[in-house]
Amino acid sequence: MTTEATETYDQLDSASTLQATDLLAVERTPGAPLLKATVQALMDWLQANGVGAVAAASAIAAQGAAEAAEGVAVVQAGVATAQAALAQAAATIIASTLVARGDWSSAVNVTDAAGNILIEISPSKVNHPDINTIRGQAALAAGGIGALQSIVGTASAWLAGFAVTDQAGNKLIEIGPATINHPDINSIRAQLATLSAVGARQNRLNNAFAFVGDSRLAMIFADPAQRTKCACHWFNEANANPAIGQAMRIAYNGAVSGYRSDQYLSNLSAAISSNAAWLVIWGVVNDLSQGVTAAQAWNGYNGSVGILGAVNLALASGMKVILVSETGSTNLNGNAAALGEINKYNQLAREAAESKPGVHYFDLASVLWDASASGSNLAFRAGYLLNGDATHPGVLGGAAGGQLFASFAQRIGIVPFGQEISGAHEASINGAMQLLANPMFATPSGGSISTGSAITGSVPSGWIGVASGSAGAVFSTAANPNNYGNDLTMACTAGASGDQVSLYQGLNVAGVAGSYPAPQAGDIYQAGVEISVAAGASNLCAAYLTWGMGVSGGGNFGLYDGYAVVDHGLSPSTAYTKVLQTPKMIVPAGAITAWYFTVTALFAGAGSANITLRRTSLRRRFS
């Protein structure tokens, strides 16, 4: 063993922190008995291993016992002295005895004179009653913050201690008089820190969700700025389902492309600290593709709390948890072991939902996998992934998953509320809370057609019809059956991939007297529309909403819902309706050069689609 000065580390607490004396003695009573028992245990162990250091140890014991009479603080100093001296005396035998251990089953056992195991140490795990009591997942889940506060105290500085090393010099554990440094203990410390930081939140929103996972959750948004809601994602598609009506909110998205579970769970504290009532966890495909097992991802590795630990931490902080089934990747085909780990992980998640109140299992795989495929390889339904992709759902997969999650969300208590305009009085002249002109197409004609666009029919007043490439359309209106003004139908045709048909309205950046003011930095706006696509659409990639703005010196940027590009695949050929709503836009500083509202039909090839629009809006928000 070697004596080292080390950096500062957090401790578990001031009252029940594992000290070096805890590792090598059974008692925890402060004072002389504790010191005597500690040193005696070390003496017995050294004698049993052939080290002639008993006399030196006895002298240290006598010195420490005398110092113990002066109080607990002096005892701790004596312990440190004893540790340092004994560490030097036993250095040779420790170095020759301990070898590198790669698994828990072959850990080093520290025993007393009677052969009783005091502690087991491996490079990744420590087994000791004091640690295991704190680690107990049931205690974390059931005890909650209040119980843990009796365990967790304030952190104090790491004092010089000693390190137990293997023959190669790798540190197995660092032990000091006030704390221990070891990956297993540090992961427990991180769990407790998360709970202590969060506290028992009482203000969680039942319609708010926090996400941790890999690229398949990160792609809720198609851009790092989180302005573009992608049609490929089942959460967005579920939120656009009229049965949900954009009622769900994203409080936090800590998913990161390419991350394994031990990496993205580092964002767990931020997810728990949000006001979300729901924590959504999806993604161990990167773990499995790198040889990590389902059990390791579930229970934690590399110092991570693991999926199970994340579940228990979320439950203890008042959240509910949605475990998304692992849908895997065809890149794993031919690797029977990895495919088997997918099945094991999903079974662990199912059983957690069965046994833990507040945990739910969302079986996304049930609508993405092709159960009719032959052989033992993983297969997705045709067209359900991004074009040429092996892992990520495309527009068709997002639509199928969204329909499933919309039903799931209703079962877990998500209640829709009105986001769309409903009356003719919701015009800009009445408080400037909704800024679009003729938002329900009450005036069915009087609009214009962009130069060169192959559009015929009547364009509603205040609007512009636009067709690009070889696309064309016939515009027509009809009374809305629910008395929401008129519906506008665009009967679109396309001749090639990338063809588009759009309905556009630009707003005056200087404002309109008596209607709405010019946009000011810090103002918040959000756009919405309801669209219906008739059955029989062919080669339609997506019909999406854009709310955009140009800023002098800052270029143009847009916010989107239902967004897709040609490589994302095709929309369903069956009839569907969506309530689209962009993320909120906070007007940036700088001169506004343009702001506009657009609904676009994008085609992936020659085809056609009848798309009906209703209840457009550009709302001003207070928050």
What's the average model confidence in pLDDT over 524-548? Answer: 98
- pLDDT, residue 172, reads 77
Average predicted confidence (pLDDT) for the chain: 81
Percentage of the chain beyond pLDDT 70 is 73
- pLDDT, residue 133, reads 56
DSSP helix, strand, coil percent of the chain (3-state; round to 5): 30, 30, 40
> Amino acid letter at 152?
V
> Amino acid letter at 291?
G
Buried b / exposed e over 22-34, threshold 16 CB at 10 Å, is bbbbeeeeeebeb
Taking the C-alpha atoms of residue 182 and residue 253, their distance in angstroms, rounded to an integer, is 30
Given a cut of 50, whether residue 209 has pLDDT beyond it is yes
Output 451 or 1, whichever has higher pLDDT: 451
Taking the C-alpha atoms of residue 13 and residue 213, their distance in angstroms, rounded to an integer, is 31
Pairing of the two strands 359-362 and 464-468 = unpaired
> Amino acid letter at 101?
R
* Superfamily in which the 201-411 domain is placed by CATH: SGNH hydrolase (3.40.50.1110)
Taking the C-alpha atoms of residue 297 and residue 300, their distance in angstroms, rounded to an integer, is 5
Using an 8 Å Cβ cutoff, are 157 and 8 in contact?
yes
Q: Which residues pair with 555 in a beta bridge?
A: 551
- In which order are the strands placed within the sheet that holds 108-111? 108-111, 117-121, 126-127
Least confident of 35-44, 285-294, 607-616: 35-44
- pLDDT, residue 80, reads 53
CATH of domain 448-621: 2.60.120.260
Using an 8 Å Cβ cutoff, are 465 and 476 in contact?
no
Res. 177 pLDDT band, cuts 50 70 90: low
Taking the C-alpha atoms of residue 397 and residue 568, their distance in angstroms, rounded to an integer, is 10
Sequence spans of domains, the chain: 2-135+159-182, 201-411, 448-621
Output 29 or 393, whichever has higher pLDDT: 393
Q: Which helix (H) or strand (E) element contains residue 600?
A: strand 592-621
3-state secondary structure of 323: strand
Using an 8 Å Cβ cutoff, are 434 and 620 in contact?
yes
Percentage of the chain beyond pLDDT 90 is 64
> Amino acid letter at 74?
V
Looking at beta carbons, which pairs linking 492-495 to residues 24 or more positions away fall under 8 Å? 492/601, 492/603, 492/608, 492/609, 492/610, 492/611, 493/607, 493/608, 494/469, 494/470, 494/539, 494/603, 494/605, 494/606, 494/607, 494/608, 495/469, 495/470, 495/471, 495/606
Q: Which of 26, 23, 36 lies closest to 174, judged by CA?
A: 23
